[in-house]
Amino acid sequence: MTSDIHNFDHHNLLMPVEPLFQIHHDLCTKCYSCVRICPVKAIKVDVNSELPSIITNRCIGCGSCYRSCSPHAIFYRSSIDVTKALLSSGEKVAAICDPTISGEFHDITDYRKFVEMIRQLGFTFVSEVSFGVDLVAMKYKELFENFKGKYYITANCPSVVSLIEKYHPELIINLAPLVSPMVATAKVIRQKYGEDVRVVFIGPCMATKDEALKFEGDAKIDAVLTFIELRQLFNDLNIRESQVEFSEFDAPLGHLGSLYPISNGLLQAGEINENLLTGSVITTEGRNNMLDAVKEFDSRIELIKRNFNMFYDEGCLMGPGTSPGGEKFLRMTLVTEYANKRLTTFDKQTWAEEIACVASLDLSRQFVADDQRLPIPDDEKIEEVLKMIHREGQMHNDIGCESCGYTNCRELAIAISQGLATTEMCHVFTGHNRQEYIQTLRATNESLAKTKTALAESEEMAKHEQEAQKETADIISTMLQKLISGVVIVDEDLKIYQSNKAFIRIVGEEAAMIDEVIPGLVGADLKSLLPVHFYKMFSYVLTSDESIENKDVQFGDTKLGISIFSIRSHKYVGGILRDMYVPELRKEQIVNRLSEVIDENFDMVQKIAYLLGEGAAKSEQMLNSVIDTYKNPGKKT
């Protein structure tokens, strides 16, 4: 991420003010590895967006989040543009290089080529910080040997200093009141080459970018480049080892300060006693060891009785500003080999004279408390959160898988209460929810399977019913066509829904012509086919739902027997038209009329039966014989 350089001018180059680290949410995959790795929980997760963000005030600049972010969504404040502005300002600019360069740039065969490559960038002076290490190491030797009952923590690692200022402010009094080798070297360079010299520190650490903001005057650091940024500058300006000649570091040169990248290198540079039996210093390195060491120093220093030499990383040679994938022991070997090589030509007398020249430099410093500790919620709130994440009963236990980034479940519950963490960071909680989701999903799938089966069965039944209905409709249609009586069904608009051949024949030639175009007269207007008094009977039945039965109506040269009835109230009516002059129907009519006569007079016959006796029976037999004759004309009586 490129820094804004619009605020810079050639006379007063102001340091950028944006946060040291930022998360680009468009690249973030919400894996939360940064949240878990942060030692001070300076990264919170927004409940609504579920995206992590860095709380700048709480950050100690260790760079753990940067290294853990596999999608490379975390960026740190770049000093490349700041450095370019300095180099183009026309002022004298000195590069002071951390001794870790010997372990980082193993791809450059000779350190003298490396020095010239830096000069090619435009630097006026190129010096080693190892001389500053020597100065500071001597001050530590004096401090440790002049024991007055108080034990100290070294203040060379800016992440350690920031951790104490923000999260253990009660230990500020125990921070060694000495500047770091970077600041000490800046003071030396300005004393030797002039107060107007601009200073750019090149090193393995990102936290030094914020450390540099705290100093002014002869201690001022104008820009801080990581080794990663230095490599980028070489690439941008196409500076290669094969294109440059040898060049030596500018004086003053360091002695054993070249060992500083290794955690106990400071002690060796100052010839401080490290003997396990008689020494007074404990050296520790690495994230977890450092955190534990601070806690133990706070609670057990009266029993431990040692000064603590601490580094957040496993020595500066494994700092977050070095190239990723570095091999620790290879780098250690390269550092010691470089130191040995320098010692073969080292002029100790010149070195001692240089030390004497800067003996009056003030290398002391003060620290400022910046308490970022949050209030601890009450037990009731913590227990409520523990219950929420299915870890009830863990209030006073140190149990926890630590996959969330917290040492135990109680610590996570506290962070959730403080708004720094979310319940989804707990694997037990997410696993429980996942199991519930899987069970719900399984039940839903089973329900869907049953529904699918039922739907298939329903579709099969519907298919059979549809086939049965079609078959029934075909049968009814066939039966309708076989009837000698005319049948017609009309809708509420008196449009024909269905009719048979007999109806078409009865209506006449016009209906027959329409039938050739529209089979069954479907959709034809009944008003256009039948006289007014005919279709009005259909209208009457539609509106009244009252049937008309066996009404004789004159139609042209023939007489029709009409029955009209409601099929669906106010929607569909059906009509049966019988041509009374068709022989079959005439016989049927006679039979029906005789049956009516018999029914109407049967009571009378019964009344007079006792008078007529068998005569009544014979009369009934004769009438029935007539009926039978009309029904079966070929039968002999």
Please give the span between the terminal C-alpha atoms of the chain, in angstroms, as a whole number. 121
Query: Sorting pLDDT into bands at 50, 70 and 90, what band is 497?
Result: confident
d(CA 572, CA 496): 10
* Residue-level pLDDT at 466: 79
Instruction: State whether residue 3 is helix, strand or coil.
Output: coil
Q: What is the pLDDT of residues 616-637, one digit of tens each?
A: 444 455 445 545 544 555 554 4
For residues 135 and 87, membership in a common domain is answered with yes
User: If residue 200 lies in a helix (H) or strand (E), which one and from where to where?
Assistant: strand 198-203
Distance separating alpha carbons of residues 511 and 530, to the nearest angstrom: 10
Residue 147 lies in a domain: yes
Instruction: Assess if residue 538 is contained within a domain.
Output: yes
Q: Locate 485 and state its tokens.
A: 């009586």
- Whether residues 603 and 503 share a domain: the answer is no
Sorted by sequence, the CB contacts under 8 Å of residue 174 that are 6+ apart come out as 150, 151, 152, 153, 297, 301
Average pLDDT of span 502-528? 84
Of 581, 603, 619, the position where a domain reaches its end is: 581
Name, in order, each residue with C-beta under 8 angstroms of 359's C-beta and a sequence gap of 6 or more: none
**How far apart, in whole angstroms, are the C-alpha atoms of residue 493 and residue 269?**
111
Is 455 inside any structural domain?
no
268 and 127 co-located in one domain: yes
Is the domain of 242 the same as that of 338? yes
Q: How far apart are CA 599 and CA 332, in angstroms?
A: 129
| 559 shares its domain with 511 | yes
For 417-437, how does the pLDDT look when each residue is reduced to its tens digit (9 = 90+)? 887 777 777 766 666 666 666
Residue 486, beta-bridge partner list: 577
**Is the CB of residue 178 less than 8 Å from the CB of residue 364?**
yes
What mean pLDDT, rounded, does the chain reach?
A: 84
Structural domain harbouring 396: 390-425
Q: Is residue 240 part of a domain?
A: yes
Give the residue from 550, 545, 551 showing the smallest Cα distance to 566.
545
Which has more pLDDT, 134 or 543? 134
pLDDT top residue among 304 and 549: 304
pTM: 0.67
Tens of pLDDT along 323-368? 988 899 999 999 999 999 888 989 999 999 999 999 999 999 999 9
- Assign 615 a pLDDT band (cuts: 50, 70, 90): very low
Residues 6+ apart with CB under 8 A from 514: 521, 524
C-alpha 398/C-alpha 410 separation (Å) is 8
Strands (DSSP E) found in 86-196: 93-97, 125-128
* 358: DSSP letter: T
Q: Are 234 and 120 in contact (CB under 8 A)?
A: no
Chain centroid offset of residue 309 CA: 42
Radius of gyration of the chain (CA): 53
